[in-house]
Amino acid sequence: MMLASRFAPRVTQRVKIQPSLFAQNHTKKSVQFTNNTRLQLPHLRKYHPPEFQFRYLQDYSKSRALWQTNKSTTVTREGQKRWQHYYRKSDPYTRFTQGQHVFEIWRRRPTFWYEVAGIGVLAVAFYEWNMETVPVSGRRRFNIISPDAERSFAQQQYRQIIQEYRGRILPNGNPTVRTVQHVLERLLPTVGMDDLKWEVYVIDSEEKNAFVIPGGKVFVFSGILSVANNQSRLATVLAHEIAHTLAHHSAERLSSSLAVYMPLIWICQFVGIPDIVSQLSVDLVLSKPGSRTQEAEADYIGMMLMAQACFEPEAAVGLWEAMEREEKKRGGVPPQFLSTHPSSHSRIQQIKEWMVEARQKQTESDCSRTLEYAQEFRKALGGPRPW
């Protein structure tokens, strides 16, 4: 029986392949496949018929031409079923299953769990190796960006900002610019970044904003002076922005984006999770909470800096109460979990909890003597200054 079966003639059947399955401009020739024909692709763990290999190799070489013939082509019914199984018309989400297919092939490997464990150990070791402590707050964080690289990125950002606001930057002799410079000069001795050349740019705009670019470039929008209407409130704003530079928050954000957020999104795509789901998940679960953590940390560091510089820490509460009123005038703000910043109300509550520590910093700096000298100086000038 085995001999008869072994030497039996090969049986073929003629099946007309639908022309829509093939593209134009390719070699027109009749190809014959039989039931006994099998071949194993080297990187897959299952057998595929030759017609599947033909289509696969065409796709792999990025050729847009597929095999077409106007004549009847001899294939097996089994081969036709396999062809239709692998190349049936796909729905709009077919590309999401490609990652699942590759993942399923990898999962079937005998060494799959060993490889996953090895990758996990390497990832944890890399993460722990690049952990560092944030100045003042003492928080541990992941960072792979060097200070030189951070300053290089900041230079590009600086040129873009100067180009964007060209013609709206107030001259150095402007009273508003001099006021900002005066407050900054009082803060800098407590910062400890003497190697930087600090520059102040006041932008004539109603926008209530301020920021500091790594490298000592301070940008203040004149609109924020309506709420930061005294020196201590302005010191709260500047100290907060300086704290971002002192803590290297921009480098931390870039590190998290390159080494944590993007790999997680790629892994989600690899296992077949849609792009929009993976991106929203990473944004809501990791990115936005991380940004709020940095903002709260900058509030804390900034409050300690301004207290050491002998500004009134209570002014921070007044500043955020004024900001909260402005937000209500504009119709409110989105929920905190959808924002990159803590709400003004939560900031006020947190600042009140830090008030005792800020007062202690002020006492350690012997600010009572400094404030007496400041009062005598103002009297000598003929009365209190508007700032």
3-state secondary structure of 140: strand
Catalytic residue among 241, 252, 297, 312: 241
pLDDT, residue 351, reads 94
The DSSP output letter for 287 is I
What span, in angstroms and rounded, lies between the C-alpha atoms of 280 and 135?
31
Q: Residue 234 in contact with residue 218, Cβ under 8 Å?
A: no
Among 351, 323, 311, 321, residue whose Cα is nearest residue 231? 311
Per-state percent for the chain, helix, strand, coil, to nearest 5: 60, 5, 35
What span, in angstroms and rounded, lies between the C-alpha atoms of 32 and 37?
10
Element (H, E) at 286: none
How many C-beta atoms lie closer than 10 Å to residue 216's C-beta? 20
Q: Is 241 a catalytic residue?
A: yes
Exposure string of 134-172, with b = 16+ CB inside 10 Å and e = fewer, is bebbeeebbbbbeeeebbebbeeebeebeeeeeeebbee
pTM higher than the cut 0.75: no
What span, in angstroms and rounded, lies between the C-alpha atoms of 22 and 67?
6
Q: Mind giving me the DSSP string for 212-274? A: EETTTEEEEEGGGGGTS-SHHHHHHHHHHHHHHHHTTHHHHHHHHIIIIIHHHHHHHHHTT--
CA dihedral 4, 5, 8, 14 (to 10 degrees): 160
Element (H, E) at 166: none
The DSSP output letter for 109 is S
3-state secondary structure of 16: coil
Is 296 exposed, middle or buried (CB count within 10 Å of its CB: 0-12, 13-18, 19+)?
middle
pLDDT, residue 243, reads 94
Q: Residue 112 in contact with residue 106, Cβ under 8 Å?
A: yes
**How are beta strands 47-48 and 39-40 bridged, if at all?**
antiparallel
Q: State the amino acid at position 149 in one-letter form.
A: A
Q: Residue 75 in contact with residue 51, Cβ under 8 Å?
A: yes
Q: Mind giving me the DSSP string for 299-352? A: HHHHHHHHHHTT--THHHHHHHHHHHHHHHHTT----GGGSSS--HHHHHHHHH
What span, in angstroms and rounded, lies between the C-alpha atoms of 221 and 336?
24
How many C-beta atoms lie closer than 10 Å to residue 204's C-beta? 14
Instruction: Spell out the per-residue pLDDT of the chain, length 387, in tens.
Output: 454 545 455 544 554 445 444 444 444 444 444 444 444 445 544 555 555 555 555 554 444 444 444 444 445 556 655 555 555 544 544 555 555 667 778 778 888 888 889 988 998 999 899 999 998 888 999 999 988 899 889 999 999 999 999 989 999 989 999 999 999 999 999 988 888 889 999 999 999 999 999 989 999 999 999 999 899 999 999 999 999 999 999 999 999 888 888 888 777 777 677 778 878 888 888 888 888 999 999 999 999 999 999 999 999 999 999 998 888 887 777 777 778 888 889 999 999 999 999 999 888 887 755 555 555 545 544 444 444
